[in-house]
Amino acid sequence: MAEIIDMPKLSDTMSVGTVVKWNIKEGQTVAFGDILAEIETDKATMELTCTVPGTVLKIYASAGSQLPVGEPICAIGKKGEAAPEPKKAPAPKAAAPAIPESTGIPCIPEAPTSSNTPLATQSDGSRTKASPYARRMAEKAALNVAALSGTGPGGRVVGRDVTAATNAPTAAPAGPINVAVTPPADGKGIQPDADSPVSGMRATIARRLVESKNTVPHFYLEVEVDAAPLLALRETLNKRLAESAAEAGLKLSVNDFILKASAEALRRVPAVNASWAGTSIRQHSAVHLAFGVALEDGLVTPVIRDAHSKSLRDIAVDAKALIAKARSKKLSPAEMSGSTFTVTNLGMFGVTGFYGIINTPNAAILSVGATIKKPVVDAHDRVVIGQRMAIGLSGDHRVVDGANGAQFLQALKQILEEPTLILI
């Protein structure tokens, strides 16, 4: 039976070999140990030793040809035997057990869908820090771990916090309502009974405002501003802007003016641009203004950085861009954090006056109401029709005293009633 000699594997890394030269011819008799050929490998030129004594029946690979390991190069058999047909070298048998192509486990974990994300986003965009054990306990108690305050290192929510929350009598709604509310007698209510899971944003709002209300000693000051000069100036400026082709699209809102005025008022009364830091009060040199933007399912407060050095135009442009981002949920964590003062405005809804909850670690929040027409007493003691805007200031009494707050409002009122003061 003829033996086919294949291109041998002469080194552990060899994959192809070149027949440099044949030492034997077809028809020649060979013995064990004779050198058949010289084969060049990736490492060196090696000799191919004959391991099958007999007669060389056929040479398949001519000198100089390069072949993969396992390909037939010659055949040796009995003298006179027919040379076998060289088959294509069979595909290398997969070593069993074969190393599987894939384990079915994706390398990159799929992005979690919102439904199974139990983690709230903090205002600085980071995950809620909670120990695995606390998460498990919270899940069991149907508490949202992101809504809890953590007493562990770095504010981590740990087991005892969940225990405390579960046991606290006045805790935030602990899962299903435990007061039985009877369904409508006529079977038709205002809206179907439903339990909607608290979204990340809602949970964050809940947590932060609970924290603010519980830890900050709020006090409240109000001032009423004659808005007529402001509204007149705004109208004039917007008209001029509309006339100019270069300014197409830019429109100033009342809120833009208020933001700018607030920055200027803070320049005059900087004590309000500070934060409580436990054993010290941090005075901020920059004014980063947060302002409220109402969304369908909640509220966000994007931040205009360095409002103290920005013009009215800059502020208006920034505000517009931030509002657009807020509405399309594209605000980055950096754009939602780091404020030193916050302004909220419910005037567009007709609310005449209100007091917001401080956006910690700010020291105060300004709440702006609608401008309404009402009878007022002018400088000459006559009753005339005035355009009045009520502005409330909620202050952190640890940082801001009544007097500072009053001074701030005084400055703000002055600027708003004489808006050209913005220019200096």
Partner 1 sequence: MAKNAVITHPESLKRPAGPSAYAKDPANASLTKADKIALYTKMARVRHFEQRCIRIYQQGKIGGFLHLYVGQEAVAAGTISLLGKFDHLITGYRDHAHGLLVGMSMKECMAELTGKVTGCSKGKGGSMHYFAPDKNYWGGHGIVGGQVPLGTGLAYAVKYRGQKGSCLTFMGDGAINQGAVHEAYNLAALWDLPVIFVIENNGYSMGTSQERSTAHPGCLAKRAEGYNMTWDVVNGHDVYEVRAKTAIALKRAHEESKPTVLEIFTYRYFGHSMSDPDKTYRDKEEVKGYRETKDPVFLFEKELLDEGVLTKALVESINAAAMEEADAAAVFADESPDPTVADITKHIYWEEDNRGPKTTSRGTIIFE
Partner 2 sequence: MAVISYREALRAAMREELKRDENVVIMGEEVAQFNGAYKVTEGLLKEFGPKRIVDTPISEAGFIGLGIGASMLGIRPVMELMFWSFSYVAFDQVVNNAGNIRYMSGGLINCPIVIRGPSNGGTNVGATHSHTPEAILASHPGIKVVCPATPYDAKGLMKAAIRDNDPVYVMENTILYNDKGEVPDDDYIVPIGVADIKREGTDLTIVAHGRAVITSLKAAEILEKEHGVSVEVVDLRSIRPLDEETIVASVRKTHRALLVEENKPFCGVDAQIAYLIQSRAFDELDAPIGRVSSIDAPQIYSKKLEDLQLPYPARVVAAALKVLA
> Would you say 70 or 159 has its CB closer to partner 2?
159
2 is a site residue for partner 1 (CB under 8 A)? no
One-letter amino acid identity for 354?
A: F
> Would you say 135 or 397 has its CB closer to partner 2?
135
Helix (H, G, I), strand (E, B) or coil at 15: coil
The item of partner 2, partner 1, none sharing an interface with residue 80, based on CB under 5 to 8 Å by kind, is none
The item of partner 1, partner 2, none sharing an interface with residue 69, based on CB under 5 to 8 Å by kind, is partner 1
- Considering only 2, 52, 201, 281, the residue that binds partner 1 (CB under 8 A) is 52
269/409 Cα distance (integer angstroms)? 9
Choose the stretch contacting partner 1; rule: CB under 8 A; options: 23-31, 41-49, 262-270, 375-383: 41-49
Return the closest-CA partner of residue 220 out of 421, 356, 123: 356
117/108 Cα distance (integer angstroms)? 17
Given a contact cutoff of 8 angstroms between Cβ atoms, the answer to whether 10 and 41 are in contact is yes
57-74: string of b/e by CB count within 10 Å (b at 16+)? bbbbbeeeeebebebbbb
Beta strands in 239-349 (DSSP E): 274-276, 281-283, 289-291, 293-295, 298-300, 303-304, 341-345
The answer to whether the bond into 97 is cis (omega within 30° of 0) is: yes
Angle (CA) 69 73 74, round 5°: 145
> Would you say 31 or 107 has its CB closer to partner 1?
31
> Would you say 18 or 166 has its CB closer to partner 1?
18
The residue with tokens 């010289």 is: 38
Structure tokens at 277: 């830091």
Minimum Å gap between C-beta 62 and partner 1 is: 20
Minimum Å gap between C-beta 185 and partner 2 is: 46
118 is a site residue for partner 2 (CB under 8 A)? no
270/93 Cα distance (integer angstroms)? 80
Contact map string, positions 65 to 84, toward partner 1, x by CB under 8 A = ----xx--------------
- Considering only 134, 312, 315, 316, the residue that binds partner 2 (CB under 8 A) is 134
381 is a site residue for partner 1 (CB under 8 A)? no
Choose the stretch contacting partner 2; rule: CB under 8 A; options: 93-101, 133-141, 193-201, 266-274: 133-141
44/184 Cα distance (integer angstroms)? 92
Does the annotation mark 380 as catalytic?
Answer: no
| Residue 328 to residues 33, 116, 126, Cα–Cα distance (Å) | 81, 22, 20
Choose the stretch contacting partner 2; rule: CB under 8 A; options: 10-18, 129-137, 294-302, 415-423: 129-137
Choose the stretch contacting partner 1; rule: CB under 8 A; options: 49-57, 129-137, 380-388, 416-424: 49-57
Minimum Å gap between C-beta 8 and partner 1 is: 3
109 is a site residue for partner 2 (CB under 8 A)? no
Structure tokens at 3: 């033996």
> Would you say 21 or 267 has its CB closer to partner 1?
21
DSSP string across 163-185: HHHHH-TT-S--SS--S--PPPT
How many angstroms separate the most distant Cα atoms in the chain? Answer: 136
49 is a site residue for partner 1 (CB under 8 A)? yes
202/197 Cα distance (integer angstroms)? 10
386 is a site residue for partner 2 (CB under 8 A)? no
**Would you give the distance in Å from CA 270 to the centre of its chain?**
33
342/364 Cα distance (integer angstroms)? 7
> Would you say 72 or 356 has its CB closer to partner 1?
72
91 is a site residue for partner 1 (CB under 8 A)? no
332 is a site residue for partner 1 (CB under 8 A)? no
- Considering only 59, 74, 158, 411, the residue that binds partner 2 (CB under 8 A) is 158
The answer to whether the bond into 361 is cis (omega within 30° of 0) is: yes
149 is a site residue for partner 2 (CB under 8 A)? no
96 is a site residue for partner 1 (CB under 8 A)? yes
Minimum Å gap between C-beta 131 and partner 1 is: 25
185 is a site residue for partner 1 (CB under 8 A)? no
> Would you say 153 or 187 has its CB closer to partner 2?
153
367/351 Cα distance (integer angstroms)? 10
Residues in contact with partner 1 by CB under 8 A are: 6, 8-12, 32-33, 44, 46, 48-49, 51-52, 69-70, 95-97
Active site residues: 397
Residues in contact with partner 2 by CB under 8 A are: 131-136, 152-153, 158-159
